[in-house]
Structure 1
Amino acid sequence: MDHELILRSLRRAVAASPDDRALRRHLARTLVEAGAGEEAIAHLSTLLAADASDSESAQLLERALAASIDSAADQPDDGAVDSAPTSADDGPTAPESGPRAAELASEPSPSAAEFDWAAAEAQVDGLVDPMFVGGDGDEPDTGAFDVERSGLTLADVGGMQHVKERLDAAFLAPMQNEELRRLYGKSLRGGLLLYGPPGCGKTFLARAVAGELGASFISAGVADILDQYLGTSERNLHELFELARRNAPCVVFLDELDALGVRRTQTRHSGMRNIVVQLLQELDSIGADNEGVFVLAATNQPWDIDPALRRPGRLDRTLLVLPPDQVAREAVFRVHLRDRPVESIDLAELARRSDGLTGADIAYVTELAAERALLDSVRSGTARMIGMPDLLAALREVRPSTGAWLDAARNVVLFGDDDGTFDELRGYLKKSKRL
């Protein structure tokens, strides 16, 4: 079988299996032996772009470049080059094999000292796109996590004074009073678990803490960490904490912790158990130093979290984040009405009438009020302002979204293991007459 038939079969095989490295390398070697250096260079460049340590392809590329350079030198000055016919399904066809191809294949590769790298770069220029593009010369960042700087502070959090005091004791006071911190031996590390009903601003609080500290902020959710392949989730967790250590002081926010740190007694899949173990190791800073790394975690289901995560030195402090109080509700209404056309709005009255609503509920109330005013404007043909009647009508339509969560919390407090973790929650349920 001649070279052309072999090459035709190999090209079709590579087109059908483009990720088969051995097959593509075999095609490139056959092209080099047939004298088709430029086509071989394209295939070898593809292999080396995916794996720069592929020494066999690198050596073959040197042969292909040398053959291509010699072939260009042998061409007549007028640029007339004989070429074999091409077909639509086979791609470019290599020159006829002959004595010259055999001679090129038998020539030894030039040494590194003799190799003309400038000519080699000119040969491959434009054949393969660069792996990374950037103008600053820095190492490319291919991580899945972004390091941010939060512009929020606790002053941006309306009300919630008790929550602010707990956060100040846990993180802010030691960071802002270095001499006292050293005097009392308080380390710049720690973990705090924020729990409570959904929509109450746990993520907002975490960003405010980072802004108050003047620290870097990294937010990581379930989709950023969990992966279908065994071992990848653990590696993602390790990369997250390594990034935080390099950017210390840094606040790491782990959202939906119950999905990452589920009780190991409830898991049937060994992969989830490994993720919990990896998280424990990172919190314990095994093989690293977590000084200056503050971990804030949030969950709606604290009773599903592995108890080992709440042991001393890990997420050893818990903070209940409840629906906003009256001062906070007034602030939330102000934020969501700030950029809308409103008139004669009594924020204090709205806050008084919205007891039990979360921040997300209040945002929905303002959305409904704006929708009501918009529809009236469409019907009348004249735009009007959003007024108190619109907001009060919307308030009558919205019910607190915390009911199901509070019912589940009540069952945990009444029938679950009472180790004191949920004493604050028990007090709230009694105060709201749910116990």
Structure 2
Amino acid sequence: MSTSPTPPSSAPQDPLLRSLLAALDATPADVPLRLHVAELLLAAGDAQAALAHAAQVLALDPASAPARDLVQRALAPAPPPSPRPEPDPGPGGAATPPAFDWDRAEADLGPLDASRLAAHDVEDGPDPDATTADLTRPRTTLADVAGMDDVKERLELAFLGPLRNPELRRLYGKSLRGGLLLYGPPGCGKTFLARALAGEVGAQFLSVGLSDVLDMWIGGSEKNLHALFEQARRNAPCVLFFDEVDGLGMSRSQTRSSGMRTTVQQLLAELDGIASGSPGAGGNEGVFVLAATNAPWDVDPALRRPGRLDRTVLVLPPDAPARRAVLEHHLRDRPTDGVDLAPLVARTEGFSGADLAHVVDTAAELALRDAVRTGRARPLTDHDLHAAWRQVKPSTGAWFDTARNVATYANGDGSWDDLVQHLRRRKR
């Protein structure tokens, strides 16, 4: 069947439409292409040209339903424009502006995302049934922590012993409520110890960071903090762990922000169990509050008074067994060849766990560099590890310099006796 040439179009044509019309001239029997061109012309306002193309499609395929539908739409009259209301003359004959048409404005704008326009209403507070942080049940226990026997013994006497002996606890009137402050140089495993402690007691673990508490709205931080404690109380026994607590419970004498002051006051009230509606020890029964910080001297003294975070545990850089375990852990999934860790363990005293991980990463980079240079992969050797050890400096030195000043000039109440003893042993 012969086809007539492509009908001209009076509508302005963009480059794409011109290309499609040229293709249609080359293949006039291409029904899908002709229907597509007709749709574009109709959308551009050239109903006459669209109708001509639809007619040619019907000539090729009289039963084409899309072509029949296009013909009906092309022949349909255009809707008349909506008349604008005439201004209503006022009492003095002056025209008054028409009232704003909200319905028409909403139709022009389309659907809106109400959540972007909703104001933050602090008065309502957080939903008490909503989960504010992720609860986990760690499988790690203190048996998984290599070395650090002094820390484990301190945790056993101050925390785990009363829990494992309920009869003795009742005899001595010891509550399950507890607060423990882990402090020491950064990268020495305070967070890992907190998880291991939760796994040891078989409790839920709720880790809280600054972003979980601090809020830009007045009163929001206090409500977030209350919601976290309520979540821990509902899921008791629960270990509620505050990482970098010095950022949340900074000494009120060092901050000028009224918002931070009220946040510290809310934290004090939650630790006392007053804000839960059940004053006294019963408010936090079964909630073990742990906190970690690299700067305990910046924590508000009221947080460390008896009944709150009153027990402190110094978490020092890993000892020799712990250093070996850390190195073995980071070498576990890497190819090695006859590595003897004993000399490296002896030379890395004072290195934090993060420093030891950096030593292994640096050794892997050295081996990778040789593999790229020679085109042959090779395992990590003692030479790589010792070369990396020479490049990596322990990061705990600056912390001990600050700690030495605090232990020397700010230990009038004996708060840092364990730190003083360690510094003396370290000096010897």
Q: What TM-score does the superposition give when structure 1 sets the normalisation length?
A: 0.69
Q: CA contact under 8 A between 1:234 and 1:275: conserved in structure 2?
A: yes
Q: Displacement of 1:419 after TM fit?
A: 1.0
Shift of 1:13: 8.1
**What amino acid is aligned across from residue 11 of structure 1 in structure 2?**
E
User: Residue in 2 aligned with 1:349?
Assistant: 343
Post-superposition shift, 1:194? 0.4
How many residue pairs match? The answer is: 321
Measured after TM superposition, the shift of residue 7 of structure 1 is 5.3
Residue 51 of structure 2 is matched in structure 1 by none
Q: 2:142 aligns with which of 140, 154, 160?
A: 154
Match of 2:387 among 386, 393, 399: 393
Give the alignment partner of residue 369 of structure 1, picking from 363, 370, 374. Answer: 363
Q: Which residue of 1 aligns with 2:307?
A: 313
Q: Which of the pair has more CA radius of gyration?
A: 2
For the pair 1:422 / 2:416, whether they are aligned, the reply is yes
2:256 is the alignment partner of 1:268: yes
**Structure-2 separation of matches of 1:221 and 1:326:** 31
For 1:432, what is the secondary structure of its paired residue?
Answer: helix
1:411, distance to aligned residue in structure 2 (A) = 1.4
Amino acid at match of 2:383: P
Determine the structure 2 residue equivalent to 1:11: 106
Structure 2 CA distance for partners of 1:5 and 1:256, relative to 1, 3 Å: closer
Out of 182, 185, 193, the residue aligned to residue 170 of structure 2 is 182
Unaligned runs of 5+ in 2: 1-83, 86-97, 122-126
Summarize the Cα distance change of 1:243–1:372 in structure 2 as closer, same or farther, 3 Å threshold: same
Equivalent AA in structure 1 for residue 261 of structure 2:
R
Residue range with higher mean Cα deviation, 246-255 or 405-414: 405-414
Q: Sort the Cα spacing of 1:350 and 1:140 in 2 relative to 1 into closer, same or farther, 3 A.
A: same
Residue identity matched to 1:341? P
Name the counterpart of 1:166.
154
Report the CA distance between 1:143 and its aligned residue.
Answer: 2.9
In the alignment, the residues of structure 2 paired with residue 346 and residue 339 of structure 1 have an alpha-carbon distance, to the nearest angstrom, of 16
Q: Is 1:223 matched up with 2:211?
A: yes
Alpha carbons of 1:292 and 1:7: their partners in 2 closer, same or farther (altered >3 Å)?
closer
Asked whether 1:292 is paired with 2:387, we answer no
In 1, the alpha carbon distance for the partners of 2:115 and 2:176 equals 50
> AA paired with 1:413?
A
Query: 1:109-168, CA deviations, whole angstroms, 9 ceiling, x for partnerless residues?
Result: xxxxxxxxxxxxxxxxxxxxxxxxxxxxxx997433111010100011110000001111
**Which residue does the alignment assign to 1:191?**
179
**What is the CA-CA distance between 1:348 and the residue it aligns to?**
2.3
Partner of 2:226, secondary structure, is: helix
Alpha carbons of structure 1 residues 178 and 417: separation in structure 2 relative to 1, 3 Å? closer
Distance in 1, matches of 2:175 and 2:197, equals 17
Instruction: Tell me, in whole angstroms, the C-alpha distance in 1 between the residues paired with 2:299 and 2:115.
Output: 44
Tell me if structure 2 keeps the 8 A contact 1:207–1:217. Answer: yes
Query: Which residue of 2 is the match for residue 258 of structure 1?
Result: 246
Q: Are residues 231 and 153 of structure 1, via their aligned partners in 2, closer, same or farther at CA, if it must alter by over 3 Å?
A: same
SS of equivalent to 1:259: helix
Identity over aligned pairs, percent: 60
- CA RMSD for the aligned pairs? 2.7
Which residue identity is paired with 1:303? W
CA offset at residue 11 of structure 1?
2.4
Measure how far apart 1:428 and its partner are: 1.4
Cα displacement (A) at 1:5 = 8.3
The answer to whether the 8 Å contact 1:145/1:220 transfers is yes
| TM-aligned CA deviation for residue 176 of structure 1 | 1.8
Instruction: Verify the 8 A CA contact 1:14 1:20 in the aligned structure 2.
Output: no
Corresponding residue for residue 63 of structure 2: none
User: Once the two structures are superposed, what CA deviation does each residue of 1:255-305 show, in whole Å capped at 9, x if it has no partner?
Assistant: 111111111111211111100100000000012311111011001111111
> 1:224 deviation in Å?
1.2
Tell me what 2:297 maps to: 303
- 1:92-107 matches, within 5 Å, as none
Name structure 1 gaps, 5 residues minimum. Answer: 25-46, 52-138
1:370 Cα shift? 0.8
- One-letter amino acid of the counterpart of residue 416, structure 1: A
